[in-house]
A and B are shown apart, each in its own frame.
Chain A
Amino acid sequence: MLRTSFQSQKEVLSIRNLNVRFHTYAGDVKALDGVTLSVRNGEILGLVGESGCGKSVTSLAIAGLLPQNAEVVSGEVVLGGTDLLKMKKTDMRLARLRDIAMVFQDPMTYLNPVLPVGLQITEILTDDPRLFVQALIDNRLGQLHQGSLGKVEEQERKRLESQLNEGRLSKQELNRLAKAYATSMLKLVRLPEPERVFKMYPFELSGGMRQRAMIAMALVRRPKLILADEISTALDVTVQAQILKLLTELKEKIDTSVILITHDLAVVAEVCDRVAVMYAGNIIEVAEVEELFRNPLHPYTKGLLGSIPNPDAAGQELKSIKGSVPDLIYPPNGCRFHPRCPEKFDNCSKQKPRLLEVNPGHFVSCFIFGG
């Protein structure tokens, strides 16, 4: 069921054999064990798995925001041709500023409570004024929306260019441009009366509005990659649907890729193009959404899909995967899922299965399929 030939599509991000450990008093937590993943241009990749399987660690590793006690043992994270893990700290900061954006789970606490929303957005723009103005001149930002900056007039553009080159672009001018652009961004994420919302403090907005503001903040630089970490979890269901719809629409408009981290399979089915299933620090299955839901191969994926409550099966017992998530300080040998696997055999506890392409575009890491 391939919609397009994936071989021809460009990869925005590719993670190869990423190993991350956390040094703790109790021992080393092997949080990521050889994660290999790629994100293609313009797709939404769902990253699913239960709590503690390494979804968030993966996204933090991409953004270079792992906590102090984390160590990247090996692997590479290549974004647009450069390995992010080998970057210097300051370059990594610039990469975050320009190419990677994160949207977090809880919009209540991820905005600065004492600064109006609008200022928090303009700040991102004016942090690197040259880049922002250059983007305006190139009309890279302009084509997004129909606001006052929708079409930067030829004259205006020439004036900006000369001012920029002569280094006499005034602060007021810059702030005016940033404000106009930020307001149009707020409009783009469908916040009503963006001029008013611009001046409002986070506590004056509802949860859904705050999440929209967070998305506006993420989009404002037109990043190559958006890491959306459980963005809909803290919202109620109707708002969830709006936010997810907004994300898919915007992704198409501004041509960016999204990694959507979630444990909600319904969300994945709704918005994602492809899905990667994680278990205990491993990627165990990657496939297109339809393929994964129709034809799950890995026993864990089967268990995961089987444990979704189904209204048609009302009255029957809800299935669950037996056992519990392994302690990652002492992970099981071989396949990390084997102690809970209903289909395990001898080899499973001895060797680690490889991630192999079983069907076109469908990767699975299990000995049943060759491993």
Chain B
Amino acid sequence: MTELKETEVPKQKSGSVADVKYAFHLLKENPLVIFGFIISVGSMLVAVFAGFIVDPNTWKHVDLSMRLCWNNPTFNWGIVNVFNCAGPVYALGTDSYGRGVLEMIILGIPLDLQIALEVVASAVFVGVVFGGVAAYAGGVLEEIILRITDIFLAIPGILLAIVLLVILGRSFNILTLAVAITWWPTYLRLMRSQVLSEKEKPYVESLRAMGAGPSRILFRHVIPNSIYPIFVQATLDIGGVILTVSALTFLGFTPSPLIPELGNLANDGIRYLFTAPWLILFSGLTILIISLGFNLLGDGIRDVFDPRLRR
């Protein structure tokens, strides 16, 4: 028998270093993703170093003589202040307690980001695991998991969170828990639909033919193949969680109205929309930019990490 000729390998670099390089190459090609990357990493850096940038106790210093001031000489815009406002200069004005808006926003970012990441991470975890198991196992188990999800979906999210907060008390940990409990059903349903279509693919049959067990097929093959829409949904939800948390704090589920939480600040600003628009403007913009940044990053993450999109 004649020796077979070896086939050609496409000339392409492989390996982890090359992978990372290639990921950066893809990032470079998409300026929006870089934008998202900078914002999300930047906001995380601000969150980590907030205590060093601003004295973490600033929020406790209430000075009513300095409330609702815009005394930034660089951008004076001809605003006439209602109150006296003779004192230190605040870059972004002051809120209704006489504290600097910029300082409050910097102190608010870590709190909001922490809550948002905790809620989304736990919702993704529960959704992916139980949604995946429900779809893959089918039968009675699927019914049980889905009906429980239905119960949670039937109650309006905010209402459920309020009930939990009333029962369990007011703290940001409990707030996080309450929001997380209302947040996972979306992920479970999304994951289930993904796995349902993914588990019929030929490679799953081939794995079964090779004697792979159900847990290995599900967790190592099917879930990694169907998780990318979840990533996108998760990054979209970072902003959503911040908004929900701010809605809850607006309703009074906060240990103190003074606490510098972005939603808290924005809600404070609603009352002074026409007299002190900077209040809602900057806190709202911060929420917008952070959610937008994570969104753009989420899209980019899929483009970079999904090997199927690398053709």
Binding site for B on A (CB under 8 A): 63, 65, 93-98, 100-102, 104, 106, 109-115, 123-124, 127, 190-193, 196-197, 199-201, 203-206, 208-209, 212, 214, 217-218, 227, 239, 242, 245-246, 249
Contact = CB atoms under 8 A, between A and B. Distances in A.
Interface in B15-73: 15
Contacts of B212: 97, 123-124, 127
Given A65-B208, A113-B307, A208 B221 contact: no
30 contacts: A63-B209, A65-B205, A65-B208, A93-B211, A96-B208, A96-B209, A96-B210, A97-B212, A101-B209, A109-B202, A110-B205, A111-B203, A112-B225, A113-B203, A113-B307, A113-B308, A114-B307, A124-B210, A124-B211, A190-B6, A201-B307, A203-B307, A203-B308, A205-B10, A209-B9, A214-B206, A218-B210, A242-B7, A245-B1, A249-B1
A230 to B, nearest CB: 13
A249 B201 CA distance: 31
Contacts of B143: none
Contacts of A114: 224-225, 306-308
Residue among B4, B5, B12, B206 with the highest chain A CB neighbour number at 10 A? B206
Interface string B282-309: 0000000000000000000000001110
Contacts of A95: 211
Nearest to A96: B211
Given A203-B310, A208-B7, A94 B211 contact: yes
Nearest to B19: A199
Contacts of B14: 196, 199-200, 204
Given A65-B208, A112-B225, 10 more contacts: A96-B209, A100-B209, A110-B206, A113-B225, A123-B212, A123-B216, A192-B8, A201-B310, A209-B7, A227-B209
B159 interface: no
B7 A206 contact: yes
Interface residue range, chain B: 20 to 34
Interface string B206-247: 111111110010001100110000000000000000000000
Interface in B124-145: none
Contacts of B202: 104, 106, 109-110
B206 A111 contact: yes
Contact of B216 (A63, A127, A190): A127
B206 A104 contact: yes
Interface of B: 1, 4-10, 12, 14-15, 201-203, 205-213, 216, 220-221, 224-225, 306-308, 310-311
A193 B213 CA distance: 31
Contacts of B220: 115, 123
B206 A102 contact: yes
A209 B5 CA distance: 12
Contact of B9 (A111, A197, A203, A239): A197
A115 B207 CA distance: 13
Contacts of A110: 202-203, 205-206
Nearest to A203: B311
A249 to B, nearest CB: 7
B310 A98 contact: no
A217 B10 contact: no
A217 B224 CA distance: 20
Given A96-B210, A102-B206, A204 B12 contact: yes
Contacts of B310: 201, 203
A65 B203 contact: no
A206 B9 CA distance: 8
Given A190-B4, A242-B4, A109 B211 contact: no
Nearest to B2: A245
A22 to B, nearest CB: 17
Contact of A109 (B9, B201, B221): B201
Most buried by A among B5, B209, B212: B209
Minimum-distance CB pairs A-B, first 4: A97-B211, A96-B211, A102-B209, A192-B6
Nearest to A89: B214
